[in-house]
Amino acid sequence: MQRKQPGLLQPDWEVPARVRAVSTTREGGVSQPPFDGFNLGLAGGDDPRAVMHNRRLLRGMLALPHEPRWLRQVHGIRVVEAARCHGETEADAAVAFDPGVVCVVMTADCLPVLFCDRNGTRVGAAHAGWRGLVAGVLEATVDALGCDPGEVMAWMGPCIGPAAFEVGDEVRAAFLEQDPGAHDAFTPSPAGRWLADLRGLARRRLSACGLGVIRATDDCTFSDDRRFYSYRRDGNTGRMASLIWLRD
């Protein structure tokens, strides 16, 4: 079994020292193909023993104060307070206000977005596929943080990039109906459809909320099969995790 040290991404944002945040890759871990190697998702058909081993490895590597509050994600807009979650609660975003409570979302092309306030008193994590994005999951998460949006910082993690995310007319129409200016995030594809900039669409929505700082990586999950899982590319595949929490 593969036992290489898992690869991690650190958000490039200036946050208070008590805020910890990280996004995982597929590198390392013990899961076997097609989930190789650091799969953290239980729902895709991987051996549960391998997934739980990877989760234990994650806790040890990051010295997590408690088990992350794993969610059962459904491409919706429900936001929960992580401290009140027991078991895998159905939601697509979580917020936390107390030290030691770890918010987490899992992705394999969808966009993970991590949040904190400038004073380091609250954090959140959201899972934003196009359905959740157009339905308002990011706005709901900002609202659940319960502070002035101008005090909120966001980091957008690895997701499918604008050269790979092909969508139909109905997806473009859903965004333009709410925000006509979103047409800049869509370009015609050779197949007669549209290539969508998921991070660009998310940035527009976060800016409209009034966020003070928005940062992002430009990593594309679809184009980098060595580092990232991609549902669009592979179908049956694993999941990365994006986590954020407050230290004491």
| Residue 3 placed within a domain | no
| Residue 26 placed within a domain | yes
Domain count, the chain: 1
| Residue 214 placed within a domain | yes
| Residue 67 placed within a domain | yes
| Domain of residue 100, CATH code | 3.60.140.10
Query: What is the DSSP code string of the chain?
Result: ---PPPPEE-------TTEEEEEE-SSSBSPPTTS-B----STTS--HHHHHHHHHHHHHHHT-SS--B-EE--SS--EEEGGG--SSEE-SEEEE-STT--EEEEESSSEEEEEEETTSS-EEEEEE-HHHHHHTHHHHHHHHHTS-GGGEEEEE--B--TTT-EE-HHHHHHHHHH-GGGGGGEEE-TTSSEEE-HHHHHHHHHHHHT-SEEEE---BTTT-TTT---HHHHSS---EEEEEEE--
| Residue 228 placed within a domain | yes
Per-residue pLDDT, averaged over 128-149, amounts to 97
pLDDT per position as a tens digit, 139-180: 999 999 999 999 999 999 999 999 999 999 999 999 999 999
**Domain coverage including residue 179:** 8-246
Q: 0.85 cut: is pTM over it?
A: yes
Mean pLDDT of the chain: 95
| Residue 2 placed within a domain | no
pLDDT per position as a tens digit, 9-62: 999 999 999 999 999 999 999 999 999 999 999 988 999 999 999 999 999 999
| Residue 158 placed within a domain | yes
